[in-house]
Structure 1
Amino acid sequence: MRLKGWSLGLTIVGLVLVVFALVWSLAIFPAMAKIPTDYEREYTFEGFILQLNSETMSLDEIPTNVVRLLTATGTQDDVLLLQQEVNFYHAEAGILLTSSSEVYGLDRTTRENVSGYGDMDRSGQFTFPAGVEQETYTFWSSSAMTTLPANFVSEETFQGITVYNFKIDSENLAAGTMEGIGLPQTMDVFCEIKVEPVSGIPVYTTSMTTVKAPLTPEGPIPIYVNYFAFTSETTDEMVDLAESTRSTILWFSVYGFWIVIALGAALVVTGVVKAIRNKE
């Protein structure tokens, strides 16, 4: 059997499609799926801060709005340098309460912190990777300044999309000493995250950090509580982003791959069958 004419052409085109699909899946798409070097995104939160009133020994509440801005500032050895700026505002007065700025060094594929990059050594996840599994992930906590486990809790449908629910629930973490008194402080960190598993995009999150100190004979009491959650606007935006990103990933790395493989295989088979028939 000799391949020539149409049979040769069909076979060659089919093989080219199969090879292209493999190269696309193994090399081209993974490179495209990395965090872009021009990444920039803003998140808004709403919540409250509770602070201990030393005169009444009760917690005074301050309503807050929080703006978190992530901006890629460059790369080093393909490690993404990502600046995080967080501003807390008084929700009613509109005045700036506190602000912070940090620079993270991230693996552009796994979205993990890379030791030796950024403004300090960090480890664990900065955010979830694409292809989230129903398992425990280790996240860096900027509040606790250490890694904390995020445990898989459940799967549900949230605003029309499938999400995995994760929970961080760590208690009695060392938190330095109380200013002016020197009493040891401890910290509780609680966080709930809903993440779209294909894209790894969090679509909703709540966080509560509680600092305690032993100010009473009964034991430690809360002296500071910081609670915040995605605003409805950010939630809607992240759901839309997760849906579109999920579709892109599935079409370009799964559906498209198998469609091209099937088409290439069909052309190869057609070319071979045509050659056999021509020989007969």
Structure 2
Amino acid sequence: MRRVVPAVLVGLGVFLLVAAALLKFYAYPKLAVAPIDQNSETTLTAEDAVIFDTDPAMLTEVVVDLTAVSTTRGDVDASREASDDRGEDIRVWADTQTITSDDGVVRSKSRGRAAFDAFTGEAVDCCGSFSETTEDERTSVVREGLVYKFPFGTEKETYDWWDGTAGTTVPAEFVEETDVDGLDVYKFEAELEPTVVGTREVPASVVGERGSDSIEADVVYANKRTFFVEPVTGAVIDRTEEQRSILAIDGEERATTTEADLSFTDEQVAKNVDEYESKASLLSMVNGLFPILGLVLGLILIALGLVLGRRDAAAAPARTGATKDDGTHRETTKV
């Protein structure tokens, strides 16, 4: 029995070491990926937003409350095909965003499709990525940087975030550690300075010019995004956007087409916190606590088993070489 115990301890220790390695290098990479069958809806709102009413009877700036609803769906077949082709986990998601004013008018609607690395969140050029801001007019897009989320294991550093309106990446700089409803998050800010993103034909009167003909004005766009990111999962828990778009002639501002401070609703934030708090805890344990415990306990059990095994081996010869004197030796003499 004594010889069995050391062997059992060593065997259990080896098992724990293997289990720790599997959790760290197999289970975690399998869990730390964006869902292939993504199906989500996010809502942002803006109060007292300034927009340009394109109704021919208006053609002027108006103040309204806005609600932006984004629906995101994962393309399972395309994701699997891209993953097989590239030998790494790729996700293909499609999204639709509808912005509605408080008077019930749909102010804009856009669609898009993007592929990205399931772990890092970095855009991947494949799978028919496109952008559609005008119905049935799709434009192929080669995206760069982060498109939907931050990487699993987000660091306190600067990341490039894709801005679809500007068609370029914007540095998202780490600001501080903070919390959202008790959940620890990293705060990032990505500010795009005013940038000409195109031109637009508008009536001369809209931009303060004389005449009845249309005139070509520059569309100048700026945006300051603030992200509150749960670092274990890379999920955006809360987000704000300070959007501004103007019409300019020779660099001079003439009319505001958009000025809105959008942010997740309180309900959206609460939902995100509830969902990603548990996911972050699970991933943290799989990637950190459980492997460490397995490693430490495994080494302790192996060491204990080896010590007991050596002690038993040393004691065995002493037991084998011992003699017993029972005091019964007699000698009988006959006469």
Q: What is the TM-score of this pair, normalised by structure 2?
A: 0.76
**Tell me, which stretches of 5 or more residues in structure 2 are unaligned?**
84-89, 131-140, 203-214, 316-335
**Cα distance, 1:278 vs. partner?**
1.1
Alignment counterpart, residue 67 of structure 2, candidates 65, 68, 87: 65
1:223 aligns with 2:256: yes
**Cα distance, 1:158 vs. partner?**
2.8
Structure 1 window deviating more from structure 2 (3-12 vs 144-153): it is: 3-12
1:144 aligns with 2:171: no
Deviations 1:139-198 (A, max 9, x none): 111222211111112222332122221111111222101223212222111111111222
1:185 aligns with 2:207: no
For 1:117-156, list aligned pairs within 5 A: 117=127, 118-119=129-130, 120-126=141-147, 127-156=149-178
**Residues of 1 paired with 2:239 and 2:254: CA distance?**
26
1:86 aligns with 2:85: no
Letter in 2 for 1:150: A
1:266 aligns with 2:300: yes
Letter in 1 for 2:238: Y
**Residues of 2 paired with 1:179 and 1:19: CA distance?**
67
Letter in 2 for 1:71: R
Deviations 1:39-85 (A, max 9, x none): 22111111154224699996311211121111111213322110111
Q: 1:139 to 1:47 in 2, by over 3 A?
A: same
**Residues of 2 paired with 1:107 and 1:243: CA distance?**
23
C-alpha contact 2:19 2:291 (8 A) present in aligned 1: no
Match of 1:77? 82
**Residues of 1 paired with 2:112 and 2:59: CA distance?**
33
C-alpha contact 1:165 1:193 (8 A) present in aligned 2: yes
Structure exhibiting the larger radius of gyration computed from Cα positions: 2
Structure 1 window deviating more from structure 2 (41-50 vs 98-107): it is: 41-50
Match of 2:195? 173
Deviations 1:189-213 (A, max 9, x none): 1111111222222221111221222
Match of 1:197? 231
**Cα distance, 1:266 vs. partner?**
1.9
Alignment counterpart, residue 124 of structure 2, candidates 108, 114, 131: 114
**Tell me, which stretches of 5 or more residues in structure 1 are unaligned?**
none
For 1:47-62, list aligned pairs within 5 A: 47-48=46-47, 49-52=49-52, 59-62=61-64
Runs (4+) of structure 1 exceeding 6 A deviation are 53-58
**Residues of 2 paired with 1:160 and 1:170: CA distance?**
30
Match of 1:46? 45
Percent of paired sites with the same residue: 24
Letter in 2 for 1:125: L
C-alpha contact 1:210 1:222 (8 A) present in aligned 2: no
Letter in 2 for 1:46: T
**Residues of 2 paired with 1:186 and 1:18: CA distance?**
59
C-alpha contact 2:33 2:119 (8 A) present in aligned 1: yes
C-alpha contact 2:228 2:238 (8 A) present in aligned 1: yes
Letter in 2 for 1:20: A
**Residues of 2 paired with 1:165 and 1:179: CA distance?**
39
C-alpha contact 1:175 1:211 (8 A) present in aligned 2: no
Match of 2:24? 25
**Residues of 2 paired with 1:134 and 1:61: CA distance?**
38
C-alpha contact 2:120 2:151 (8 A) present in aligned 1: yes
Structure 1 window deviating more from structure 2 (233-242 vs 172-181): it is: 172-181
**Residues of 2 paired with 1:172 and 1:96: CA distance?**
26
**Residues of 1 paired with 2:60 and 2:23: CA distance?**
61
**Cα distance, 1:20 vs. partner?**
2.1
Per the alignment, in what secondary structure is the counterpart of residue 71 of structure 2? strand
Per the alignment, in what secondary structure is the counterpart of residue 272 of structure 1? helix
Per the alignment, in what secondary structure is the counterpart of residue 116 of structure 1? coil
